Amino acid sequence: MTTVVPDSDTVTRDALAVLQPTFAGTHRAPDWLLAQLENGMTGVGLFGRNVVSTEQLAELTGHLRQARPDVLVAVDEEGGDVTRLDVHGGSSVPGNHALGSVDDPELTRAVAAEIGRRLAACGVNVNWAPSADINSDPENPVIGVRSFGAEPDLVARHTVAYVTGLQSAGVAACVKHFPGHGNTNVDSHHALPRIDIDLETLHERELAPFRAAIAAGTRCVMSAHIVVPALDPERPGTLSPAVLTGLLRAPAAEGGLGFDGLIYSDAIEMRAVAETYGLEQGCVLAVAAGADALCIGGTPSDEAEVLRLRDALVRAVRSGQLPEERLHEAAERVRALGRWTAAERERGAADPAGAAGTGIGLTAARRAVRVSRPDDAPLQPLTGPAHVVTLSPAANIAVGEETPWGPGAELARLLPGTTVSGHAGADAERAGPAGLARQVLAAAGERPLVVVVRDRHRHAWMAETVAELVAARPESVVVEMGVPHAPPVGGTHLATYGAARVCAQAAAETLTGHRAD
């Protein structure tokens, strides 16, 4: 085990305090990480790789809390497509797009409160959510159904509802991705997006949900690795003083948003930062720009990496590149959030009953389903075995590949004898959309055909395959579980506005007329 050496060097402890690494492990954290928590590190991030069950997660976070009682334990639990608690089976609540389509802020508040109760019962006290991005570009590869919608007022009111619901359970909200990641068709996990809009549009559209969330008391805001030339022509938001200090921190009288809470960086190792600036320099520039906590989350960290980044920050202070008072200010903000979360836990805001589930997720998913039929004909429920084919796009990194999706399993349960198959873009590339459609039709035989897609408008192979299937079988059912931007097709068209497990269940119930309750 790494030896704990009390360090009286304030700069070194402050540098450790702003680092929020991830790690490998499910039941115990590595000894080195526990030692660094005792040395001054303040928090960690958890991902699906750290989660087996709610009971196991509570055990793991309790282990962390033994090393540091006020440790910050953060996850990406947006609900819907981006889930960590339900990474192995699919989320028990729908995501933002489904909630925005219903447009009932009280429902959104209740769903967020349920997420908060579950997180708090597991010992998680910071949620890197909600996404306050306005999905103004339908080709966006990384936001999509993670957004409440494309209208600023709608996104703002649901962002507020989510923040208030989540924080009512004693879990800090972290509104993201500032100053707005919706108007881009580039994924910052892979490259550096650029948003060419003027300041007036930025303030009226992208910033509206963040301004509302700050007024509602969000504890945290997460920066985005995007370049907005109207603010800074070179540096992405995470590394830009103009974005973090000049806009997010500055008072309203100076044209800013006046936020005085904690600023998290998006994951520093994402290519938008790391490939241009390097991990060490990216950390230094982010803190200098105004970030307080550095998320280091793509792959598990080890002690060598954490100490290397700590030392880079210390060297930057010693050389004058990073003002000591800026690093100390950042560290104090992180510690202050730790005190708030510890007080909320002591107060009992965490309701263990929330872990059992309130059923609000399925209720919300059912309300989000939209059905289209030619000439508005009534829906004819499926009564016998069907063939379900899922056309799967590659999942983005935020969603991950490990979470199952689609209504196939639930339809097979409700309609015994139903068969399920899945295809990806590589299958269409090999056989061509027409050839892939022939394979699907051969597998379906005489059974009704249910075609399940995700963001059909963004994937030509998917759209062409669906067109072939519907041309051959006009009565086919098409279930869109992404953004329903493409026109409805098929004899029956369902839109679920997300691919959560409860969205799949709601779709299956709608198609069969059977409900669990």
Using only the alpha carbons of the chain, give its radius of gyration.
Answer: 23
CA distance 50 to 44: 11
What is the tens place of the pLDDT at every residue in 121-179?
999 999 999 999 999 888 887 899 999 999 999 999 999 999 999 999 999 999 999 99
- Alpha carbons 411 and 418: distance in angstroms, whole number: 7
Is the pTM value of this prediction over 0.85? yes
3-state secondary structure of 371: strand
d(CA 440, CA 211): 49
- 167: Cα within 13 Å, side-chain hemisphere: 21
Is 71 in the same domain as 198?
yes
CATH number at residue 286: 3.20.20.300
Which amino acid is present at 56? Q
Is 259 in the same domain as 375? Answer: no
| H helix intervals, 19-82 | 31-39, 54-67
| Same-domain status, 328 and 377 | no
Reported as a single tens digit per residue, the pLDDT across 32-54 is 999 999 999 999 999 999 999 99
What whole-number distance in Å separates Cα of residue 269 and Cα of residue 181? Answer: 18
Given a cut of 90, is residue 394 above it in pLDDT?
no
Clarify whether residues 393 and 259 are in a common domain. no
105 and 160 Cβ atoms separated by less than 8 Å:
yes
User: What residue numbers bound the domain in which 461 lies?
Assistant: 369-512
Q: Give the per-residue pLDDT at 2.
A: 41
From 78, 76, 67, select the one nearest 41 (Cα to Cα). Answer: 67
* Alpha helices, DSSP H, located in 129-203: 152-167, 199-201
**Residue 208 contacts residue 150 (beta carbons within 8 Å):** no
* pLDDT over 70 at 223, yes or no: yes
CA dihedral (424, 427, 433, 439) positive or negative: negative
1 falls in which pLDDT band (50, 70, 90)? very low
Work out whether strand 492-495 and strand 370-372 pair parallel, antiparallel, or are unpaired.
Answer: antiparallel
Asked if 278 and 379 sit in the same domain, the reply is no
**Do 338 and 392 share a structural domain?**
no
364 occurs within a structural domain: no
Are the C-beta atoms of 32 and 335 separated by less than 8 Å?
Answer: no
Tell me the HSE value of 365 on the side-chain side, using a 13 A CA sphere: 30
Section 454-467 average pLDDT: 95
Question: Quick one: average pLDDT of 246-251?
Answer: 96
> pLDDT tens-digit profile of 347-376?
875 444 444 467 999 999 999 999 999 888
The reported pLDDT for the residue numbered 190 is 54
Percent of the chain with pLDDT over 70: 94
Amino acid type, 451: V
Tell me, yes or no, whether 353 lies in a domain: no
Residue 274 falls inside a structural domain: yes
Is 293 found in the same domain as 259?
yes
Question: Edge to edge, what strands does the sheet with 492-495 contain?
Answer: 370-372, 492-495, 477-480, 449-453, 387-392, 419-424
Average pLDDT over residues 221-233: 93
Residue ending a domain, choose from 346, 381, 401: 346
**pLDDT surpassing 50 at residue 7:** no
DSSP state of 451: E
Catalytic residue of the set 158, 177, 181, 189: 189
Give buried/exposed letters for 27-52 (b at 16+ CB in 10 A, else e). eebbebbbbbbebbbbbbbbbbbbbe
Return the pLDDT at 141: 74
Is 361 within a domain?
no
State the number of CA atoms in the 13 A half-sphere of 231 facing the CB: 32
Answer whether 231's CB lies under 8 Å from 255's CB. Answer: no
Kindly state whether residues 378 and 342 are assigned to the same domain: no
Same domain, 319 and 410: no
Q: Which residue of the set 14, 76, 266, 292 is catalytic? A: 266
Give me the pLDDT at residue 303, please.
93
Residue 154, CA distances (Å) to 36, 101, 173 in order: 43, 9, 19
Q: Between these two residues, 356 and 201, which has the higher pLDDT value? A: 201
Residue 244 is assigned to a structural domain of this protein? yes
- Residue 352 covered by a domain: no
Q: What are phi and psi of 337, to 5 degrees?
A: -65, -40
The two beta strands, 262-264 and 220-223, are: parallel
Which 3 state secondary structure label does DSSP give 352? helix
Confidence of residue 477 (pLDDT cuts 50, 70, 90): very high
Is 355 contained in some domain? no
pLDDT at 347: 86
Which residues neighbour 471 within 8 Å (Cβ) at sequence distance 6 or greater?
none
Q: Say if strands 19-21 and 294-296 run parallel, antiparallel, or are unpaired.
A: parallel
What's the chain's average pLDDT? 92
Among residues 421, 398, 500, the alpha carbon closest in space to that of 111 is found at 500
Is 68 in contact with 38 (CB distance < 8 Å)?
Answer: yes
Percentage of the chain surpassing pLDDT 90? 81
Lookup: tokens for 342: 């510890």
Same domain, 288 and 178: yes
336 — phi, psi (to 5°)? -65, -40
Position 71 pLDDT exceeds 80:
yes
Higher pLDDT, 393 or 101: 101
CA gap 211, 262 in Å, rounded: 15
Question: Residue 353: what pLDDT?
Answer: 41
* Whether the predicted pLDDT of 274 surpasses 60: yes
Would you say residue 454 lies in a domain? yes
Residue 185 predicted with pLDDT over 80: no
Which CATH number do you get for residue 449?
A: 3.40.50
Q: Is 266 a catalytic residue?
A: yes
Kindly state whether residues 187 and 221 are assigned to the same domain.
yes
Beta carbons of 262 and 42 less than 8 angstroms apart:
no
Say if CB 48 and CB 402 are below 8 A apart: yes
pLDDT for res 297: 75
pLDDT band for position 191 (50/70/90)? low
- The phi and psi torsions of 88 (rounded to 5 degrees) equal -90, -15
Which amino acid, residue 68? R
Q: Is the pLDDT of residue 259 over 90?
A: yes
Give the total number of structural domains in the chain: 2
In the prediction, which pLDDT does 319 show? 95
pLDDT value at residue 273: 80
214/335 same-domain check: yes
pLDDT band at 516 (very low <50, low <70, confident <90, very high): low
